[in-house]
Amino acid sequence: MSLLTCDARGVYVISVTPFTDQGEIDWDSLDRVVDFYFDKGADGLTILGMMGEAPKLTQAESRAVAERVIKRAGGKPVVVGVSAPGLAAIGELGKAVMDMGAAGCMVTTPGSLKTDPQIHGYFGQVSRTLGDGVPIVLQDFPLATGVQISDEVLGRIIDDIPQVVMLKHEDWPGLAKISKLRRAEAEGRRRISILCGNGGVFLPEEMARGADGAMTGFGFPEMLADVVRLAGDGDMDRAQDIFDAYLPLVRYEQQPGAGLAVRKYVLAKRGAIGSAALRAPGAGLTPEAIAEVERLLARQEKRLKELN
């Protein structure tokens, strides 16, 4: 499998981890959802992220999930989230998954980082821990981590740490950050790939600002693929039409905590996974919420038909 580079583009879906109703990993569903993502237009996958319920897995399970997905992906790129409270655990999991054929490792900022020099220093330590040649995706997600990465320190990280090849961009609001990064590149800074997260809720604007694609999850990954492809073709109006049709559900999935249950409900309904269950601690949808999702799905289908 080839390694992630600064030129990566397209849609890297943040994969769910399917569980049975009893909370065990559902390996058949894991295979099935991998196939589903690629069928719906994914260019790659990202596993063991926050929406993959990674912190609820044991270390042994994390490795087994990585191995299974990388094998099933059959050569298509798989990025693995390796964030952990300590460098030793990051190094151990990172080395293991790269040996399995991962395309790169995604790392975010622990909440203990308080100053710009600490943030910069941390990614230096991470790159030395993972070792030369391991591509790093820097996940910039202040709403979840509590760490705000300034444009300035992000620039210094890009300047000093060549292993950082991609930004998983989910600063919020972060549109200006994309524009500034691209302007700095026009003035000579090394280019990195920018894939956008946040459930895709700003994807049309992000693509127009210069992003290379999406790295996020959604019950309808074909929307992400369509918007990225149409934006790449310059057809922003059609991209926005498609996006707007899905937006009521995208918005509904934005609810912190509840969002993943919505996503798994939709994936289960579409046959991509066997059960919508989250591993504890994590609740499913209430009957009221299911009714709301069903209503949004019916309206979405109707609207998509109008657009064709």
Catalogue the long-range contacts made by 299-302 (C-beta closer than 8 Å, 24 or more residues apart): 299/248, 300/245, 300/246, 300/248, 300/249
Numbered residues of the known binding site: 215
| 3-state DSSP assignment of residue 159 | helix
3-state SS of 182-237 is HHHHHCCCCCCEEEECHHHCCHHHHHHHCCCEECCCCCCHHHHHHHHHHHHCCCHH
The distance of closest approach from Cβ of residue 271 to a second copy in the complex, given in angstroms and rounded to an integer, is 26
The distance of closest approach from Cβ of residue 135 to a second copy in the complex, given in angstroms and rounded to an integer, is 22
Q: Which residue has the tokens 């109703």?
A: 21
Numbered residues of the known binding site for pyruvate: 215
The distance of closest approach from Cβ of residue 256 to a second copy in the complex, given in angstroms and rounded to an integer, is 6
- Return the structure tokens found at 284: 């499913």
Say if CB 107 and CB 137 are below 8 A apart: yes
Nearer to a second copy, 86 or 131 (CB): 86
Residues of this chain that interact with a second copy (CB under 8 A) are: 53, 55-61, 84-89, 92, 111, 114-118, 121-122, 125, 142, 148-153, 172-173, 175-176, 179, 201-202, 205, 208-209, 240, 244, 247-248, 251-252, 254-259, 279-281, 286, 288-289, 292, 299, 303
Nearer to a second copy, 71 or 172 (CB): 172
Nearer to a second copy, 38 or 252 (CB): 252
The distance of closest approach from Cβ of residue 155 to a second copy in the complex, given in angstroms and rounded to an integer, is 11
Nearer to a second copy, 59 or 301 (CB): 59
